[in-house]
Amino acid sequence: MVSNEDVQKNVLHSGTTLVGIVCKDGVVMAGDRKSTLGGQIVYQKNAKKVVKINDYLVTSGTGSSSDIDMLQRIAAAQLKLKELKDKRRPTVKESANLIGTIAYNNIRQPSMIPFMAGTMVGGLNEDGKAELYSVGPDGSIVEVDDFNANFSSGMPYVLGLLERQYKKGMNIEDGIKLAIEAIKSSSERDTASGYGVDVFTITKDGIKQVSSLKAEAVYTEQNAFENKSKQ
């Protein structure tokens, strides 16, 4: 059997940077765009890691792409069924609990390839309150009241930055700037993160994708040119 510790190590190895920031007027969620194979080969340069799965919920994932996609599809379908059955929209907490339950059940199924997906869940309740939860690859659930990077490989590079620059009660505009800065900082050092930033906001006005930045590689010949100019 695969231990929870092994799964978390695999998730960290798989590569991604996720950021979630709680502001006084909502929640900011962001992620990079690089997708790798085993952390060695760049497979995709425009991977969507922050996804709006319905009218009131945004999820972002780190780990195996197939597990993340499956988790998002099942969660969206189950939440719709629950809404039809209960005749009301599920809360963000209920949504996070559902995703945590799916992860919990998957990781405990004997398999040649273990389930590997850490998830951040942000959403809007019917009363207009935005909430953010972090769901571990083992199904554990933590409500976030400041900031989080889940189990992404970029986590060690962004937590220190967030510790220094996050301010309780910061507004959504400052949260967007901080989220972008966190992803950029991680991309400088984490080989499995980069190629751009996607940012979503969750406020009483709804869910909006407010930023979609693409990174371009620029090469400049510096030393040879400077030496030639001096001759």
Instruction: Round to whole Å and give the CA distance between 198 and 124.
Output: 19
Sign of the dihedral defined by the CA atoms of residues 70, 86, 88, 100, in that order: negative
Instruction: Round to whole Å and give the CA distance between 187 and 199.
Output: 15
Specify the 3-state DSSP secondary structure of 210: strand
Which tens digits make up the pLDDT trace of 117-136?
Answer: 889 999 999 999 999 999 99
* pTM check: above 0.75: yes
Which tens digits make up the pLDDT trace of 158-188?
Answer: 999 999 999 999 999 999 999 999 988 877 6
Residue 150 has which token pair? 């889940």
Catalytic pick among 16, 17, 62, 119? 16
Which range of residues forms the domain containing residue 188? 4-230
- H/E stretch holding 147: strand 147-148
Residue 215 has which token pair? 């990174």
Q: How many residues can be counted in the chain?
A: 231
What is the average pLDDT across 28-48?
72
Q: Is 17 a catalytic residue?
A: no
CATH value at residue 143: 3.60.20.10
Say how many domains are in the chain.
1
